[in-house]
Amino acid sequence: MSVAIVCPTYNESENLPSLVSRVFALEGIDPRLIIVDDSSPDGTAKVVETITRETGLPITLIERQEKMGLGTAYIDGFSAALKTNCEFVVQMDADLSHPPELIPLLLKSLQNHDVAVASRYIKDGSNNEKWSYWRKLVSRGGDSYVRTILGLNASDPKSGFKAFRSNVLSSIPLNAISSVGFIFQSELLFLAKKHGFSVTEIPYEFAKRTAGISKMSWSIIIEGLFRPLQIRWKYINLRKKR
């Protein structure tokens, strides 16, 4: 099965070699890796270029001229993925907190659903990141808030580890999505639901980052507070299309 795997990057040069190795070691899938780099000062793009040149693996690098945010990085990556005519699209972080070995299971879940979300918060899921009480409160409280405002059933609505049938992404108006930070994930799920696509969740263990630093910031938290209300209002007249 053909699958495009989209990974936004910013200062992930230390994680890229392992990510590439683990993705292309997967059996039973025909992967193409799409890296969207926001002009990382640590030379992430150079690492991708070197790996591609030395291995000849099907890796596409999209270099952006400045740090433009997670949301637009995914939109650029999804647009590139759809041009490959792949059957499925996977989105995941490049920091290895999302185990590539789970990709085949996500894709298997698409036999009966349109979108598969890897969740930390359903049975058998877990979060191994050593978060402070405040960070846990912000994360779980934010999830409850988002689910309530947007009417989402997913237990992990901000999960960035998902798989889609390609027709889901080609049906959604990606360029209409204006969320920049992690709330982008919730807006995408909301639109999938509005378009009548089915969503399932599978458990996974969110691994602790071993290299690089988290991209969480106050601006992302603030966006997560106000954007759900804006999303609800923005698409208020959008009806299910299936």
Q: Terminal CA-to-CA distance of the chain, rounded, Å?
A: 25
The pLDDT assigned to 139 comes to: 61
pLDDT band at 212 (very low <50, low <70, confident <90, very high): very low
Helix, strand, or coil (residue 127): strand
The pLDDT assigned to 180 comes to: 81
pLDDT in tens, 1-29: 899 999 999 999 999 999 999 999 999 99
- Amino acid identity at 131: W
- Fold for 2-234, please state it: Spore Coat Polysaccharide Biosynthesis Protein SpsA; Chain A (3.90.550)
- Does residue 145 or residue 81 have the better pLDDT? 81
d(CA 89, CA 82): 8
pLDDT in tens, 109-147: 999 999 999 998 888 776 765 556 555 555 666 677 878
Count CA atoms within 13 Å of residue 68 on its CB side: 17
pTM: 0.86
